[in-house]
Amino acid sequence: MTDAPRTAKLTFDDKELDLPMYSPTAGPDVIDITKLYAQGGVFTYDPGFTSTASCDSTITYIDGGKGELLYRGYPIDQLAEKSNYIEVCYTLLYGELPTEDKLIDFERKITTHTMVHDQMQFLFRGFRRDAHPMAIMCGVVGALSAFYHDSTDISDPEQREHASIRMIAKIPTIAAMAYKYSAGQPFVYPDNKLDYASNFLRMCFAVPAEEYVVDPILAKAMDRIFTLHADHEQNASTSTVRLAGSSGANPFACIAAGIACLWGPAHGGANQACLEMLREIGTVDRIPEYVARAKDKSDPFRLMGFGHRVYKNFDPRAKVMKESADEVLDLLGIENNETLKIAKELERIALEDEYFVSKKLYPNVDFYSGIILDAMGFPTSMFTPIFALSRTVGWITQWQEMLNDPSQKIGRPRQLYKGATQRDYVDLDKR
């Protein structure tokens, strides 16, 4: 007796449908509704996709209730402590931790692709100096397809691989160039003697007028921030990359779309908005005023860096980030960082407040990251570009998985139409 496949029975009007059900290796079971419209003549309705799985994936898993995050099965806290970003990139891309030989080969590939076509520097001149670096990154990353035609044929696995290496290798260079341009300083070329995080710090903070030596402690903190932001299931920007990729758009256009989506303050823009909020609060005694505003339905203000669609427990990345904040500020000799003090007191108050407890609102990855980046010398406008830099490996891995899925087809959601039914045109003189 073979196990009959599990089904969900759906009955409505005069119909009774048996919809297939599948069980994952972790997380909730799913009901397959791909045939629902054909068999039942109805759509499902789920704005914001709160209960909808858009794909099957083997890359990242989040347990929102437990506050767990796994990259290819490896817990984020173990990777943050024991691994490094280049090894995390390899593991996300290829599914397994690399052997030493494979890691050396992969790192060499990335290192030797860090420069961008030298003519790209002229693209930056089209922007005002006060342009937000995210605006520049959207434009320049999209323009990569105009310089790297030989890795835009998505039907060619070799070109897909080449585009993936190029994206991971060049995104720090582009982010650093966006920063230098907005700071009015000359671009700094990559230095292949340096590791990924050190290279980025040097491209951001070195100036031709003097020697720049990377602080290994800052490089390690930078590398850890990259790791914590590398991937996160089907979040808004990853879903944007997948949807853009489903039409056959070239990889650089898809990553540019992801960058544009990440910029929103409800998503990756929250790290900048959170530090600006902490600065606006200014002193610990003003925290209750802002907590009251966050709870007031008539006030659009929300506590930036708090809450999450999936985590209904502590975001594990926020825990690691909080430890790093203490470590980095201490190592930088930044005593009594008022912003960190406000953040910790705000966290304490919010986590005791019934409103936040009942809605399971905890600090997320963006709550502490801005404090570290600020202490490292980055302006708030560079916080989201650093998030985009870190997430590029996740986006490109998810893009690859989508294209390798044999059931992949163009994403095209339907709608619950509430507009006018058909009516005849009325001539202007009769209106």
Single-letter amino acid code for the residue at 354: E
| Residue 3: active-site member | no
Q: Which residue in the set 123, 136, 303, 386 belongs to the binding site for ligand SDX (CB under 6 A)?
A: 303
| Span from 35-43, 129-137, 139-147, 307-315 in contact with ligand SDX (CB under 6 A) | 307-315
Which residues lie across from 20 on neighbouring strands? 7
In Å, how far are 289, 291, 353, 368 from 339, measured between CA atoms? 16, 16, 21, 10
Q: Which of 186, 163, 182 is nearest to 241 (CA)?
A: 163
Shortest spacing between CB 208 and ligand SDX, in angstroms: 36
**Helix (H) or strand (E) run with residue 7 in it:** strand 7-12
Q: Which of 218, 182, 198, 241 is nearest to 392 (CA)?
A: 241
- The smaller minimum CB distance to ligand SDX, of residues 266 and 357, is found at 266
The answer to whether residue 270 forms part of the interface with ligand SDX (CB under 6 A) is: yes
Pairing assessment for the beta strands 68-71 and 60-63 based on DSSP bridges? antiparallel
Burial of residue 430, with CB atoms counted within 10 A of its CB: 0-12 exposed, 13-18 middle, 19 or more buried: exposed
Burial of residue 210, with CB atoms counted within 10 A of its CB: 0-12 exposed, 13-18 middle, 19 or more buried: exposed
- The smaller minimum CB distance to ligand SDX, of residues 358 and 421, is found at 358
* HSE-CB for 392 with a 13 A CA cutoff: 30
| Residue 366: active-site member | yes
Instruction: Assess contact for 221 and 322: CB atoms under 8 A.
Output: no
| Span from 34-42, 166-174, 208-216, 306-314 in contact with ligand SDX (CB under 6 A) | 306-314
Q: Which of 169, 36, 59 is nearest to 114 (CA)?
A: 169
Shortest spacing between CB 267 and ligand SDX, in angstroms: 4
Find the helix packing angle between 216-228 and 85-94, rounded to 10°.
20
Q: Which residue in the set 102, 267, 279, 312 belongs to the binding site for ligand SDX (CB under 6 A)?
A: 267
Cβ-closest position to ligand SDX: 307
The answer to whether residue 102 forms part of the interface with ligand SDX (CB under 6 A) is: no
- The smaller minimum CB distance to ligand SDX, of residues 32 and 353, is found at 353
The answer to whether residue 235 forms part of the interface with ligand SDX (CB under 6 A) is: yes
3 DSSP assignment: P
Rounded Cα distance between 175 and 181, Å, is 10
- The smaller minimum CB distance to ligand SDX, of residues 65 and 126, is found at 65
Instruction: Assess contact for 271 and 387: CB atoms under 8 A.
Output: yes
Shortest spacing between CB 372 and ligand SDX, in angstroms: 16
The answer to whether residue 361 forms part of the interface with ligand SDX (CB under 6 A) is: yes
Q: Which residue in the set 98, 305, 316, 385 belongs to the binding site for ligand SDX (CB under 6 A)?
A: 305
Shortest spacing between CB 95 and ligand SDX, in angstroms: 20
Count CB-CB contacts under 10 A for residue 276: 15
- The smaller minimum CB distance to ligand SDX, of residues 245 and 305, is found at 305
The answer to whether residue 49 forms part of the interface with ligand SDX (CB under 6 A) is: no
The answer to whether residue 180 forms part of the interface with ligand SDX (CB under 6 A) is: no
Shortest spacing between CB 237 and ligand SDX, in angstroms: 6
Q: Which of 195, 231, 315, 366 is catalytic?
A: 366
Cite the active site residues. Answer: 308, 366
Footprint of ligand SDX (CB under 6 A) = 232, 235, 266-268, 270, 294, 302-310, 359, 361, 364-366
